[in-house]
């Protein structure tokens, strides 16, 4: 009989875990973090005797991960899936795990005030910053932010909780921290600094000045495709672990990239030893990845959801869609980049190979969520470039129109789409209170925190979008994909 516990001897990581110190804290202990930042720390511990351990914090713990970690000595498995070739490691760098719900706010705030803590990493998703995606500024009318301004000691937003920890550090005369955003936003460090200092200034001017001078906010680009864990992945991981079930286990692709702005006044793990790039400026990497990878992901997600393709790898079976997504990457996204650190054709080819990975089963619906928070950096920035340069952006327009159809909620099989987005309420209101003759496109363009004021005022943009939207509604996504391919003169070779 196999031992039913993950902490059984033969699965233990190959380093003395008692040497680890919680010098890192992570906020947002979701699947992505467990497959990415924590694995880099694990590689450092196993290959370079690093003592940088993690305190994991979850403000939502909806999947019960923190509870699971506590029950298995903070160990969990990461499987890498490449077709039929799966491998697995047991990560041992977690020293402590806290959930707001189970452990309470004061335990979380205390963890942030640990003297030896130096770096806080964040994966709280775009919406977790409570900012306007169009401007990068804190949304002062956001309900969680209004609450945190009124009750700084009982915060509920991620920036509010971080500030409560920083306030305690300051009161105790402890040094500041480095807060490293690992979410898919351009200049994510700048956004984090902006929301944190704005919120601090609304709570306490002295704290705001302390945060300004004592907290560093480098930016970073992260990359690893991590699909939601399903019952099948969990059972596959169980097999890899010789029969041990791991409710905190994750599975991801065998690819991981991290590019970090090297600004760590309180020290940092020697990440460069495990392949992380530490640079003075990460913007070229961020923009390349956000527009070429994430922009393509969103394009495939909305067209895929409308067409009925459940996974990204299913989209990759559609020769026309593959041609379009390649055109999008190279002709409509790469051309907007000030600098492309990898040759666009090369990067595009790598991405298509990664998207084809049949083991990933990365759901289009997973990528489609929170579109209002993702579109500005994935598509709208490039659209602005094309409008300013008078160049064509047909794929971007089709992708954006597909999002508009998607949030209008009925797919081509007549199924109601389940839309998960923080602006769902606002989207519904805009669509249902349309004035006589107002198109859905014009109604949705009123989302100022997504589109700003410039895009809705641009007639060429609005007309192109309306045209694509109508084509999608009349002929369906599959026909529009074929039509655009033909129209762009893209040759399609059947697989």
Member of 38, 185, 225, 440 binding ligand CS2 (CB under 6 A):
225
> According to the binding rule CB under 6 A, does residue 70 interact with ligand CS2?
no
**Rounded-to-integer distance, Cα 218 and Cα 255, Å:** 23
Of 171-179, 208-216, 222-230, 400-408, the segment contacting ligand CS2 by CB under 6 A is 222-230
- Considering the complex, state which of residue 291 and residue 384 has its C-beta at the smaller distance from ligand CS2: 291
> According to the binding rule CB under 6 A, does residue 366 interact with ligand CS2?
yes
Helix ranges (DSSP H) in 267-331: 283-288, 295-307, 312-315, 319-327
Element (H, E) at 463: helix 459-475
**Rounded-to-integer distance, Cα 82 and Cα 68, Å:** 26
- Considering the complex, state which of residue 78 and residue 224 has its C-beta at the smaller distance from ligand CS2: 224
**Contacting ligand CS2 within 369-398 (CB under 6 A):** 374
- Considering the complex, state which of residue 3 and residue 223 has its C-beta at the smaller distance from ligand CS2: 223
Please, what is the minimum distance in Å from the beta carbon of residue 326 to ligand CS2? 17
DSSP 8-state symbol, 66: H
Member of 223, 245, 412, 426 binding ligand CS2 (CB under 6 A):
223
Please, what is the minimum distance in Å from the beta carbon of residue 30 to ligand CS2? 10
Dihedral sign (CA 455, 460, 463, 466): negative
CA atoms lying within 13 Å on the CB side of residue 105 = 15
- Considering the complex, state which of residue 111 and residue 360 has its C-beta at the smaller distance from ligand CS2: 360
Dihedral sign (CA 408, 411, 414, 417): negative
- Considering the complex, state which of residue 182 and residue 240 has its C-beta at the smaller distance from ligand CS2: 182
Of 127-135, 174-182, 220-228, 315-323, the segment contacting ligand CS2 by CB under 6 A is 220-228
> According to the binding rule CB under 6 A, does residue 72 interact with ligand CS2?
no
Residue 366 sits at the vertex; the CA angle it makes with 76 and 420, to the nearest 5 degrees, is 115
> According to the binding rule CB under 6 A, does residue 352 interact with ligand CS2?
no
Output the six-digit token pair for 31.
């699947």
Dihedral sign (CA 352, 464, 134, 417): negative
**Rounded-to-integer distance, Cα 415 and Cα 266, Å:** 52
CB closest to ligand CS2, residue no: 297
Of 7-15, 46-54, 82-90, 223-231, the segment contacting ligand CS2 by CB under 6 A is 223-231
Give, in order, the Cα–Cα distances in Å from 269 to each of 21, 166, 266, 273, 490.
12, 21, 10, 9, 47
Output the six-digit token pair for 369.
């969520």
Q: Is 328 within 8 Å of 396 (Cβ atoms)?
A: yes
- Considering the complex, state which of residue 294 and residue 333 has its C-beta at the smaller distance from ligand CS2: 294
**Rounded-to-integer distance, Cα 451 and Cα 88, Å:** 43
Instruction: Give burial (CB, 10 Å; 0-12/13-18/19+) of 149.
Output: middle
Instruction: Tell me, residue by residue from 174 to 203, as one string, x for binding to ligand CS2 by CB under 6 A and - for no binding.
Output: ----------x-------------------
**Rounded-to-integer distance, Cα 52 and Cα 178, Å:** 14
- Considering the complex, state which of residue 110 and residue 223 has its C-beta at the smaller distance from ligand CS2: 223
Member of 50, 198, 294, 377 binding ligand CS2 (CB under 6 A):
294
Member of 93, 118, 161, 367 binding ligand CS2 (CB under 6 A):
367
Please, what is the minimum distance in Å from the beta carbon of residue 362 to ligand CS2? 7
Member of 224, 348, 380, 400 binding ligand CS2 (CB under 6 A):
224
Name every residue whose Cβ is closer than 8 Å to that of residue 318 and which is 6 or more positions away in sequence.
307, 309, 481
- Considering the complex, state which of residue 167 and residue 297 has its C-beta at the smaller distance from ligand CS2: 297
- Considering the complex, state which of residue 22 and residue 371 has its C-beta at the smaller distance from ligand CS2: 371
Of 17-25, 61-69, 366-374, 389-397, the segment contacting ligand CS2 by CB under 6 A is 366-374
**Rounded-to-integer distance, Cα 93 and Cα 86, Å:** 22
- Considering the complex, state which of residue 174 and residue 369 has its C-beta at the smaller distance from ligand CS2: 369
- Considering the complex, state which of residue 228 and residue 479 has its C-beta at the smaller distance from ligand CS2: 228
Please, what is the minimum distance in Å from the beta carbon of residue 297 to ligand CS2? 4
CB atoms within 10 A of CB 25: 26
In degrees to the nearest 10, what's the CA dihedral of 410, 413, 414, 417?
-30
Please, what is the minimum distance in Å from the beta carbon of residue 369 to ligand CS2? 7
Of 18-26, 217-225, 232-240, 465-473, the segment contacting ligand CS2 by CB under 6 A is 217-225
DSSP 8-state symbol, 11: G
> According to the binding rule CB under 6 A, does residue 297 interact with ligand CS2?
yes
Give the interface with ligand CS2 as residue ranges (CB under 6 A).
Answer: 184, 223-225, 294, 297, 366-367, 374
């Amino acid at each position: 009989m196999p031992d039913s516990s993950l902490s059984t001897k033969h699965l233990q990581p190959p380093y003395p875990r008692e040497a680890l110190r919680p010098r890192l804290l992570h906020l947002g202990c979701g699947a992505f973090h467990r497959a990415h930042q924590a694995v880099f720390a694990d590689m450092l511990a196993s290959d370079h005797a690093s003592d940088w351990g993690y305190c994991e914090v979850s403000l939502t713990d909806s999947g019960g991960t923190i509870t699971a970690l506590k029950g298995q000595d903070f160990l969990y498995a990461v499987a890498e899936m490449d077709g039929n070739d799966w491998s697995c490691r047991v990560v041992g760098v977690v020293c402590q795990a806290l959930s707001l719900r189970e452990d309470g706010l004061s335990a979380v705030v205390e963890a942030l005030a640990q003297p030896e803590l130096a770096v806080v990493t964040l994966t709280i998703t775009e919406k977790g910053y409570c900012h306007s995606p169009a401007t990068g500024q804190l949304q002062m009318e956001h309900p969680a932010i209004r609450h945190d301004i009124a009750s700084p000691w009982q915060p509920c937003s991620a920036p509010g909780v971080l500030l409560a920890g920083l306030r305690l550090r300051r009161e105790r005369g402890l040094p500041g921290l480095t807060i490293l955003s690992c979410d898919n936003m351009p200049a994510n460090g700048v956004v984090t600094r902006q929301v944190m200092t704005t919120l601090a200034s609304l709570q306490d001017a002295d704290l705001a000045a302390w945060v300004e001078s004592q907290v560093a906010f480098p930016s970073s680009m992260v990359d690893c495709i991590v699909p939601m864990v399903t019952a099948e992945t969990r059972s596959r991981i169980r097999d890899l672990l010789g029969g041990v079930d791991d409710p905190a286990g994750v599975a991801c692709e065998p690819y991981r990239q991290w590019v970090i702005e090297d600004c760590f006044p309180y020290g940092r793990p020697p990440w460069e030893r495990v392949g992380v790039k530490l640079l003075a400026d990460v913007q070229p990497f961020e923009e390349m990845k956000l527009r070429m990878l994430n922009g393509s992901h969103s394009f495939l997600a909305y067209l895929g959801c409308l067409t009925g393709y459940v996974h990204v790898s299913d989209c990759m079976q559609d020769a026309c869609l593959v041609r379009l997504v390649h055109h999008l990457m190279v002709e409509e996204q790469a051309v907007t980049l000030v600098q492309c650190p990898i040759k666009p054709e090369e990067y595009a080819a790598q991405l298509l190979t990664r998207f084809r990975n049949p083991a990933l089963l990365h759901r289009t619906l997973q990528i489609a969520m929170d579109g209002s928070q993702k579109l500005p950096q994935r598509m709208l920035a490039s659209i602005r470039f094309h409008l300013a340069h008078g160049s064509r952006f047909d794929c971007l327009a089709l992708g954006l129109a597909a999002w508009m159809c998607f949030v209008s909620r009925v797919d081509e099989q007549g199924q109601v789409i389940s839309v998960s987005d923080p602006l769902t309420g606002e989207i519904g209101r805009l669509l249902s209170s349309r004035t006589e003759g107002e198109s859905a496109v014009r109604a949705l363009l009123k989302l100022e925190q997504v589109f700003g004021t410039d895009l809705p005022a641009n007639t060429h943009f609005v007309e192109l979008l309306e045209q694509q939207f109508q084509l999608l509604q009349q002929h369906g996504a599959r026909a529009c994909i074929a039509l655009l391919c033909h129209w762009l003169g893209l040759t399609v070779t059947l697989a």
